[in-house]
Amino acid sequence: MKKTLAILLAAILMLGCMSFASAEAKTYKVGVSIYQFDDNFMTLYRNEILDYFKTLETDEVKYDVTLVDGKNDMAEQTNQVNNFITQKMDVIILNLVQTSSADAVIDNIVAAGIPLVLINREPLAYDENNNAIDEGYEGILNNPQVCYVGADARQSGTYQGEMVAELENHGDINGDGVISYIMIEGDPENPDAQYRTQFSVKALTDAGYKVECLDDQVGNWAQAKGQELVANALSKFDRKIEVVFCNNDAMALGASAAITAAGRKVGEDIYLLGVDALEQAVQMVKDGEMTGTVLNDHIGQSHTAVDVAVKLLNGEEIQNYYWVNYVKVNKAYVDAQ
């Protein structure tokens, strides 16, 4: 009797262990490197990556996400990628510090057999005149397990220019027939900065308006730098400046402080444009303190990046490019929300 009981108990224990083992979740290791944590927009983006991965977890599947700060230093990010490879990550999501290093990084990750999702900073090839070649990047197109998720920066630049063209005076406050502007650029190595700089102005010239660039400076996406540059430009060019184009909202927030300090008033004697639609910027558009911004959809982009990473983990086929639309955010748009 005792023996039967012991066998029975052992069987129950074994069964218990087996069912426990089969219920154990599969944990995927995900490596994420962001070009720089100290960036307003990429902070929203990276937090959403973490939050969204959490929402996709089930009893069967878990995501162990390692998120690291590239500190705007390509050497640092290369080390991080090498660590991801040593740690045998199942998938890598990468916001490159330098898009010019894309080939080396992609090769390294592909050679290790790890799928890769590039985000936010699109690697581009250039022709001999330094014009971007738009047919897609070979390093991405040639690799079925590599893709880029982003928004087409040309669209955001075009929207900025259109928002000026749509104003009653088309940005020509002094009525001399020329829109006189200053441009505050993000990191010039970054296609978002290149395209926004180019296409904001192109939208105006394509619509038949004359433009004059009074000043073009690099603010590296940063608020404090934006403020300093716009303060300098205002003291140099004063009332000549009719439009301030900033490649992103962080710099536009800085520009706004400089504009106020110079006793100027957005919507009356100057116009101010940004990109990203940070909460504070949208509020300023609503209050008439900014002429317009462009929604850089960090939710759409982060969710797409994570969804495609999950597809890669499941061995599903993916596209090489995924695009998320920008949205024009001017007063009319904000008021209609």
Binding site for ligand GAL (CB under 6 A): 35, 39, 41-42, 120-121, 186, 190, 192, 221, 248, 250, 275-276, 296
Give 121 or 240: the residue with its C-beta nearer to ligand GAL. Answer: 121
CA dihedral 288, 294, 300, 305 (to 10 degrees): -140
Shortest approach of ligand GAL to residue 140 CB, angstroms? 17
Shortest approach of ligand GAL to residue 293 CB, angstroms? 10
Shortest approach of ligand GAL to residue 221 CB, angstroms? 5
Give 162 or 276: the residue with its C-beta nearer to ligand GAL. Answer: 276
Shortest approach of ligand GAL to residue 227 CB, angstroms? 15
| CA terminus-to-terminus distance, the chain | 76
Give 65 or 250: the residue with its C-beta nearer to ligand GAL. Answer: 250
Q: What is the largest CA-CA distance in the chain?
A: 106
Q: Which of 70, 67, 128 is nearest to 101 (CA)?
A: 70
Shortest approach of ligand GAL to residue 156 CB, angstroms? 8
Shortest approach of ligand GAL to residue 272 CB, angstroms? 16
Give 144 or 188: the residue with its C-beta nearer to ligand GAL. Answer: 188
According to DSSP H, which parts of the chain are helical?
2-23, 40-56, 74-86, 102-111, 138-141, 153-165, 191-206, 223-237, 249-261, 279-286, 298-313, 331-336
Give 173 or 275: the residue with its C-beta nearer to ligand GAL. Answer: 275
Contact 306, 49 (CB under 8 A): yes
Give 132 or 313: the residue with its C-beta nearer to ligand GAL. Answer: 132
In angstroms, the Cα distances linking 43 to 63, 69, 123, 143, 218 are 20, 11, 21, 29, 21
Instruction: Write the CB contacts of 60 (distance below 8 Å, at least 6 apart in sequence).
Output: 25, 26
